[in-house]
Amino acid sequence: MMTCGWEVKFAVRRRKRSSAIMKKQIQIANIVVGLFILTIFLGCADKPSFQFNAVSKKEAENGTPFSAEQSQDVANILTALFGTPDDPAMPNVNSFHWYLQYDEGYAEDFATLVDFENLKRSAGPVSSDENGDSRGLYREHCAHCHGISGGGDGPTALTLNPYPRDFRHGVYKFKSTSGKARPTDDDLMHIINEGIPGTSMPSFKVAINDNEKKALVDYVKYLSLRGEIERLLWTMTSELETGERLPLVFADGYDKLSEEEKDNLMGWFEEEGAKVESLFKSWLKAKTSPNVKQPPTAPESFDPKHPEHSTLIAQGREIFHGKAGDCKSCHGFTGYGDGELNNYDVWNQWAKGKSDDYIAEFVNDGALPPRTIAPRNFRNGVFRGGRDPNTLYRRIKEGIQGAQMPNAATLTDDQIWSLVAYVRNIKSEPITGGQSHLPVNDKPIN
Amino acid sequence: MSTLDERIRSLEESAPLPSANLKRPFRWAVLLGCVTFPLIWAGGLVTSTDAGMAVPDWPNTYGYNMFSYPFESWFFGPWDLFIEHGHRLLGSTAGLVAIMLVISTFRNSKNACLRWMSVFALLLVILQGLLGGVRVLAADRILAMVHGCVGPAFFAFSAAFATVLYQNSRSVSAVSQPTRRTKLQTLTICLTAGSFLQLVLGANMRHIEESASFHWFRLLVLLHVLFATVVLLLTVVIFIIRRANGKQLESIRGTSFLVTLFVIAQYVLGVGTWITKYHWPFGSDQFGVFAGLLTLDKSIVQTSIVTGHVAMGSLILMTSTVMMMQMFSWQITNQPNKDKMIETPTNRDMQVSSLGVQA
């Protein structure tokens, strides 16, 4: 069979084209396989371990980085006191010989702060047994957002708004205790149980049982305490002379030290140990004798059906906009939460008034990019800590710890109740002047 | 160029081999796909409910042989044990069906490529089982992620094999082949690759280590959203081209429609997954609908949407793979000693297959 020249040319051209397409397909396949392998290996992470609090460390360094030995000392002390994410520990009497100098009975109370079995149950990798008892609860339910160290810097943190809570300050917004007091176990349990509407904090009502929730409450306290001690250790390190190091009494064991070393350490702890002690005591107090004040009974006119209810709301409105309450400066004239928008909460306070370069250095070292506070928008009728009257009364009376919401020290009980009535009603209040929203205000209101 | 002439001649002489016998392995391949899809659902549920470590041993289940584990302990036991053990049993079922597929293929065809494809399917399911087992023994999330990627790949391969068997179990006239192909072939290959890449990115997000960087997770999210858009565009373009070319592309009518439908559904499920798991991402205060939304961890709604998103991803990969396979001809020659799949004479101007098998 003869083959014409044009047929051969056509066949060759076709073959070349076919070959070129095939090459392209192989290239595409290579890219896909390459991306697959790349994502697998880039996604690989080391075994979970506690990380330094990048912000506290950098703030304490104040431009002069700590030596590797100094940083290692802090890591050793923390590991000796609190163990690792897989094998947690709680400081015990042996770790705190120096406490015994102050209060012999303190060690017994101290042991009740958290249930060690709860810690073991919450720590470590996720697993469960044939009876359905789960372990590794923290990693299963919390660590993806709050991070292994409880720094609110888990993998998902940057994509969430607001950021997850950083436990390492020991500060919690929604609690029943007064002022700077630590939250009670019930407060933490409430958040785990009910979640926080309008945020990424879910309710764990159906996900875990009550015993597991209690275990998580203890683990959150453990991470808070660990984080607070770490912050304190960085501050202590910053006060050392160049080349000087923190005494490693926790790490190597008190009993191994010579008498002279023990005496020296006692001298050091007489000054610094009290600070550590106060942290433990504050958590103990929240557990054993919390300072929880019940709100007074609301006035009769608080009932929406009461004929004087509108008067109460009007009083609240006056306080909201007047000098007595001055709520408008943050929450805006119309309650849209569009007042002062350039303030920072306690977790982002390090960025306040700092230059972009300064902030960039922190972010490069592992801090989350700082965000300013968004005052509550009352027009949505949503209150993240709960909208029942008693809870709202407490928020106004005590303020919100960590946020810039101050306590209403000068307002009477009746004034506070009128404010509660007003903020619950703002949602249905008509907006005067046709202005639905203020332009974004980036200037502080004094 | 005598070899080229000979090749062209041989192509002309080789008639496709319609084989009624291949209907049996075809049915096994379809059954394998049908078993694999619920298996993927169950696998998705294992991750959604963190049940992966509910049974600490493997291949046994709490010391029992997997198949002799007491029914009462499994069926009426804890939810995570029910899911994990059920996933194992379904996986074993898929393995058995894969063995039957190999036997059926070897009994009904002497074609080396078909036989190898059936063996490859079996090897894939064995690999998948091993990955699942080692993931449990090593308690390794990275292996869980790889396990989560190989599963859909196996599902897609089963469907691809079923397509090849389907084409060869019918005469040429019965299998209409598209005539406008080259660009569309490339698009379908890109769509399949894009679908798989999306699965890999999604698996990375689902199985991310707790100690991973938040920058890394955000990058994964952004890439996932970016490639979701690419996949959507590819799907729409393919759909429009197919509609514009009517009968010429009749063979991919069903699959292009299904892929489009699935991708749209996947978008809805993707948004739903994020909202039910992580809430509205842009700050909820100015969005009244989301301001008071409270997510309920591991609720039925959350678990169903998230697992549905995973399963739908696999379905898109499978459907796009079938569509890609339909864009090529996989007829087998009846020439003696030509134990290979070749392109049909009527379509010999086609490019060679994406699997690299050529005459």
Q: Identify which of A26-30, A269-273, A358-362, B48-52 has the greatest average pLDDT.
A: A358-362
Q: Is residue B16 part of a domain?
A: no
Chain A residues with CB-CB distance to B279 below 8 A = 160, 198-200
Here the tokens at position A18 are: 């076919």
Question: What pLDDT band is residue B200 in, cutting at 50, 70 and 90?
Answer: very high
Same domain? B159 vs B184: no
Of A36, A126, A195, the CB nearest to B295: A195
Same domain? B220 vs B155: no
- Quickly name the fold that domain A300-340+375-434 has: Cytochrome Bc1 Complex; Chain D, domain 2 (1.10.760)
String of b and e for A124-136 (b: at least 16 CB within 10 Å)?
bbbbbeeeeebbb
| Interface contact A193, partner B, CB < 8 A | no
Same domain? B171 vs B214: no
| Interface contact A202, partner B, CB < 8 A | yes
Are A159 and B201 inside 8 Å of each other by CB?
no
pLDDT at A239: 87
Which structural domain range is residue B310 located in?
178-328
Chain B residues with CB-CB distance to A32 below 8 A = 193, 196-197
Same domain? B170 vs B186: no
* Tokens 């080349």, located at residue: A243
Q: Identify which of A401-405, B15-19, B20-24, B117-121 has the greatest average pLDDT.
A: B117-121
Chain B residues with CB-CB distance to A219 below 8 A = none
Select the more confidently predicted residue: B199 or A64: B199
Chain B residues with CB-CB distance to A204 below 8 A = 297
Residue where a domain stops, chosen among B175, B200, B230: B175
Same domain? B171 vs B283: no
* Tokens 């709680």, located at residue: A90
pLDDT at B212: 93
Lowest mean pLDDT of A59-73, A244-258, B162-176, B207-221, name the range. A244-258
Same domain? B88 vs B165: yes
Chain A residues with CB-CB distance to B208 below 8 A = 43, 45, 144, 155
Are A159 and B8 inside 8 Å of each other by CB?
no
Percent of chain B residues topping a pLDDT of 70: 82
Of B80, B182, B218, the CB nearest to A128: B80
Total of domains in chain B = 2
Amino acid making up residue A39:
T
Q: Is residue B344 part of a domain?
A: no
Quick one: closest CA in A to B214, which residue? Answer: A155
The whole-angstrom separation of Cα B291 and Cα A376 is 10
Select the more confidently predicted residue: A328 or B6: A328
**Dihedral angle, C-alpha B267, A41, B317, B225, nearest 10 °:** 20
Q: Is residue B218 part of a domain?
A: yes
Chain A nearest C-alpha distance from B5 (Å): 8
Q: What is the pLDDT of residues B237-290, one digit of tens each?
A: 999 999 998 777 888 999 999 999 999 999 999 999 999 999 987 766 666 678
Q: What is the mean pLDDT of residues A197-210?
A: 93
Here the tokens at position B40 are: 């993927």
Instruction: Tell me how far CA of residue A283 lies from CA of A223, A293, B2, B329, in angstroms.
Output: 12, 17, 90, 72
Same domain? B232 vs B282: yes
Q: What is the pLDDT of residues A346-371, one digit of tens each?
A: 999 999 999 999 999 999 999 999 99
Same domain? B159 vs B278: no
Q: What is the pLDDT of residues A233-265, one digit of tens each?
A: 899 899 888 777 776 555 455 566 677 766 766
| Interface contact A128, partner B, CB < 8 A | yes
Quick one: closest CA in A to B303, which residue? Answer: A207
pLDDT at A72: 87
Residue where a domain stops, chosen among B155, B175, B195: B175
Chain B residues with CB-CB distance to A3 below 8 A = 1, 5
Percent of chain A residues topping a pLDDT of 90: 50
Same domain? B184 vs B295: yes
Q: Does the pLDDT value for residue B123 go beyond 70?
A: yes
Here the tokens at position A301 are: 């006119």
Same domain? B246 vs B287: yes
Select the more confidently predicted residue: A222 or A285: A222
Q: What is the mean pLDDT of chain A?
A: 83
Are A1 and B5 inside 8 Å of each other by CB?
yes
Q: Is residue B8 part of a domain?
A: no
3-state secondary structure of A359: helix
Residue ranges, comma separated, of all CATH 1.10.760.10 domains in chain A are 300-340+375-434
Same domain? B125 vs B91: yes
Rg, C-alpha atoms of chain B: 23
pLDDT at A248: 59
pLDDT at B78: 92
- Asked whether A176 and A184 are in contact (CB, 8 A), the reply is yes
Question: What pLDDT band is residue A25 in, cutting at 50, 70 and 90?
Answer: low
First-to-last alpha carbon distance for chain B, in angstroms, is: 16
Residue where a domain stops, chosen among B112, B143, B175: B175
E strand or H helix at A2: none
Percent of chain A residues topping a pLDDT of 70: 76
- Which of A:141-160 have CB within 8 Å of B? 141, 143-144, 147-148, 153-160
pLDDT at A104: 54
- Closest C-alpha among A395, A400, A401, A403 to residue A344: A403
- Asked whether A224 and A149 are in contact (CB, 8 A), the reply is no
Same domain? B163 vs B25: yes
- Asked whether A21 and B182 are in contact (CB, 8 A), the reply is yes
First-to-last alpha carbon distance for chain A, in angstroms, is: 98
Q: Is residue B341 part of a domain?
A: no
